[in-house]
């Protein structure tokens, strides 16, 4: 039985697609047959971050509307044989997706032996976001540690608690917090909310904390999700988050300011 994970956020630009790509890579690297779907109809980005934009022939909408088979539309990742991408359409309207069509695609993926299906949701509360979360078994809410992002994510959590299939059946949808662009230095100076602040406001525990890093943008520009950058703190943070998602215990790294030693202070290092 496939587990469906929706990666969602209240506002755009918080690193949601980057997170979807890294989570999918992390699951596949651990041997799990994984599919990652871009629900952002009209604003396709997942294929760019996954480095397969030139290989998109058929997309999610083509499959939902019966214009192509799932097998024709799925793009096999060049790095992992057990990872597949289903791209969004750039030319269709957001209403092109239907609940029945999405459900059929998810069921067909499960029947094809996929263990994990990662749904990269559009930001906000439009139809694509609703469909991305509706069938989910688990949610990852991506948040920047700033007031506007936290406030918008609070609205999304309300929808997860009320507008998903599990919620309609009286079951809570397990949700996790993924903090991105975290800067311990800015937290110390009061410019940024702390992990505890965000956890308390949203009522969720942090699955992972991804430090602010230029590595994320550099990796995205290369079509290589940052989790593949072994030396990158952001990549390591995503790897830790995937491990926790699978039930492993890992200490939370990159959350405190590194203390300078005596000689560093003396010589300005």
Other residues' Cβ atoms within 10 Å of the Cβ of residue 135: 19
210 touches 238 (CB < 8 A): yes
Residue 81's alpha-carbon distances to 21, 36, 222, 230, in angstroms, are 15, 13, 20, 20
250 touches 260 (CB < 8 A): no
Q: How far is the C-alpha of 142 from the C-alpha of 164, rounded, in Å?
A: 18
Q: Residues in the chain, how many?
A: 269
Check the CA dihedral 58-59-63-64 and report its sign: negative
Is 18 annotated as ligand-binding? yes
138 touches 127 (CB < 8 A): no
Is 17 annotated as ligand-binding? yes
223 touches 217 (CB < 8 A): no
Other residues' Cβ atoms within 10 Å of the Cβ of residue 132: 24
79 touches 111 (CB < 8 A): no
The secondary element (H helix, E strand) that includes residue 59 is none
229 touches 22 (CB < 8 A): no
Is 14 annotated as ligand-binding? yes
Question: E strands of the chain, at which residues?
Answer: 3-8, 34-38, 75-76, 83-86, 116-120, 138-143, 175-182, 206-211
Is 13 annotated as ligand-binding? yes
Binding residues: 11-18
Binding residues for ATP: 11-18
């Amino acid at each position: 039985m496939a587990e469906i994970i929706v990666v969602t956020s209240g506002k755009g630009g918080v690193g949601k697609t980057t997170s979807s790509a890294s989570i999918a890579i992390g699951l596949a690297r651990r041997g799990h047959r994984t599919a990652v779907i871009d629900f952002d109809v009209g604003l396709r980005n997942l294929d760019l971050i996954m480095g397969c934009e030139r290989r998109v022939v058929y997309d999610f909408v083509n499959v939902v509307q019966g214009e192509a088979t799932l097998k024709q539309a799925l793009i096999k990742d060049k790095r992992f044989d057990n990872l597949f991408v289903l791209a969004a359409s750039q030319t269709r309207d957001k209403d092109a997706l239907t609940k029945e069509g999405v459900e059929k695609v998810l069921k067909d993926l499960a029947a094809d032996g996929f263990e994990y299906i990662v749904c990269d949701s559009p930001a906000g509360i439009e139809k694509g976001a609703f469909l991305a979360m509706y069938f989910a078994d688990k949610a990852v809410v991506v948040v920047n540690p700033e007031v506007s992002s936290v406030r918008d994510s609070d609205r999304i959590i309300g929808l997860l608690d009320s507008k998903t299939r599990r919620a309609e059946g009286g079951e809570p949808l397990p949700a996790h917090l993924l903090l991105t662009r975290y800067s311990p230095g800015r937290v110390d100076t009061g410019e940024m909310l702390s992990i505890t602040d965000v956890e308390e406001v949203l009522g969720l525990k942090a699955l992972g904390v991804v430090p602010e890093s230029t590595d994320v943008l550099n990796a995205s520009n290369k079509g290589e999700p940052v989790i593949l950058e072994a030396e990158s703190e952001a990549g390591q943070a995503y790897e830790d988050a995937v491990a926790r998602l699978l039930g492993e215990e890992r200490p939370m790294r990159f959350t405190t300011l590194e203390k300078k030693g005596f000689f560093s202070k003396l010589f300005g290092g």
